[in-house]
Amino acid sequence: MVSGKCSKGKVRDTLNNLVLFGKATYDKLLKEVPNYKLITPTIVSERLKVRGCLARAALQELLSIGMIKLVSKHRAQVIYTRGTEEGEGAEKEEEKEGEDTV
């Protein structure tokens, strides 16, 4: 006979993430997510409290709009970054060229 208590393991808190975007959450997505330096479905899911499938779909939409830029795509993980970095760099270079000619 085995005596003693048997451990039931760790109890994980259940997540109650949103299945659909509300107006406020969608506005927050459009406003904040393109400013993140590193963007993954996991980060979006944790910060906005939405499900992973919804986060993946939202990032696809932001990519198609051009608000974010694809860094790496793998079957298990997709990594994005800010989409405005190139635009800002090009504008700064143009300003420098304009200053040189004066």
**Cα→Cα distances 5→8, 10, 12, 46, 64, Å:** 9, 15, 20, 35, 55
Q: Does 42 fall in a domain?
A: yes
Pair 57, 65: CB distance under 8 Å: no
pLDDT value, residue 13: 81
Q: Does 15 fall in a domain?
A: no
Instruction: Provide the token pair at 28.
Output: 């927050």
pTM: 0.70
Q: Does 54 fall in a domain?
A: yes
Q: Does 38 fall in a domain?
A: yes
Distance in angstroms (rounded) separating the CA atoms of residues 101 and 75 = 49
Q: Does 43 fall in a domain?
A: yes
Number of domains in the chain: 1
pLDDT value, residue 93: 46
Which residue, among 29, 34, 69, has the nearest Cα to 50 in the 3D structure?
29
Question: Three-state SS for 62?
Answer: helix
Instruction: Provide the token pair at 73.
Output: 């795509």
Q: Does 2 fall in a domain?
A: no
Question: pLDDT (tens digit, 9 = 90+) per residue, 37-86?
Answer: 999 999 999 999 999 999 999 999 999 999 999 999 999 999 999 986 55
Where in the sequence is the domain holding 32, given as residue range(s)?
Answer: 23-96
Q: Does 52 fall in a domain?
A: yes
Question: pLDDT (tens digit, 9 = 90+) per residue, 11-42?
Answer: 888 888 889 999 999 999 999 999 999 999 99
